[in-house]
Amino acid sequence: MIEMKGTTIVSVRKDGVVAIGGDGQVTMGSAVAKSNAKKVRRVYNNKVIVGFAGSTADAFTLFEKLEDKLSEYSGNLTRACVELAKDWRTDRILRRLEALLIAADINDTYLISGSGDVLEPDDDVCAIGSGGNYALSAAKALINFSNLDAKSIVEESLKIAASVCIYTNDNITVDVLGESDE
């Protein structure tokens, strides 16, 4: 889990379904600037879900770049993420962007950073942001010790993170791919 102050995004893959969720809080310094931001979006003809932590403008730039890479590589998420990370790390302007992304399609999930990381979670759970460690721990416990589905695990993990992280609220957005998109 890579930490970035200001949000929580968590992804869970279970039983052929992937869910990504995020809280709605935007923080500027020590003040809440917005409580209902949508930090989870679909790209590439609704086939890929992306969640971000960090600067909103930077994240939207990266969403666009990822969608361009997905188009360039015919929807191959692995290749698109690797190429985005390479550009992000080497381009003089892009490397100044401060955000982290989690991107998932029906088959794969990746955490992408500006330092060139494209990480696939070992255990089908991934989280970023200031509340990421809390959500990650909760999701790992719930995936192993409950009968909840992927969407419910994401929701409960975010609620737990919101109860302990001051940069995370309980205004939760979750998107799902698989099983008829639940």
* Residues classed as catalytic: 7
* Nearest alpha-carbon partner for 129 in 158, 86, 171: 158
Structure tokens, 123: 């255990």
From residue 81, give the alpha-carbon distance in Å to each of 74, 122, 137. 13, 17, 25
Q: How far apart are CA 39 and CA 54, in angstroms?
A: 10
Neighbours of 31 (CB within 10 A): 7
Within 10 angstroms of residue 45's Cβ, the number of other Cβ atoms is: 10
| Angstrom distance (rounded) from CA 102 to CA 14 | 16
Residue 82 CA to its chain's centroid (Å)? 16
Q: What is the CA radius of gyration of the chain?
A: 15
